[in-house]
Amino acid sequence: MAFGLAVISIVVWAVTGPVFHYSENWQLVINTGTTIVTFIMVFLIQQSQNKDSVALHLKLNELLASHRSADNHLIGIEDASEEELRRLAAAYLRKAAGEDEAPVANASS
């Protein structure tokens, strides 16, 4: 529906070009309209991505909480600092290589 509305708007704008002799006001209308729509879409897309991210974190938290051998310290790890996340990533890489024991997450920092 949104795509159809956009196509119709562009067609109407293009058809009205000759009527207004392709004036500066005619160009200003489309430029202003596209700027406003772009500005609004940025916020709508960001809200949608934030909602998807929260839902994904909740699903992962549920999986971690339901699995007995999972490290429950990782629940809520998205709130950890960049440094803590890098430390955990390095620890898991070492664990995968068989060099280290399971890393311990400290999400409260």
Q: Quote the pLDDT of residue 2.
A: 79
Q: Quote the pLDDT of residue 103.
A: 61
- CB contact burial 53-66 (16+ within 10 A = b; e otherwise): eeeeeeeebeebee
DSSP 105: -
72 assigned to some structural domain: no
Q: What is the identity of the amino acid at 55?
A: A
CB distance 84 to 74 below 8 Å: no
80 assigned to some structural domain: no
How far apart CA 80 and CA 61 sit, in angstroms, is 15
Intervals of the chain under pLDDT 50: 109
Q: Quote the pLDDT of residue 109.
A: 46
The domain tally of the chain equals 1
49 assigned to some structural domain: yes
**Tokens representing residue 15 in the block:** 């058809």
pTM of the complete model beyond 0.85: no
74 assigned to some structural domain: no
65 assigned to some structural domain: no
Domain that holds residue 23: 2-53
Q: Quote the pLDDT of residue 51.
A: 92
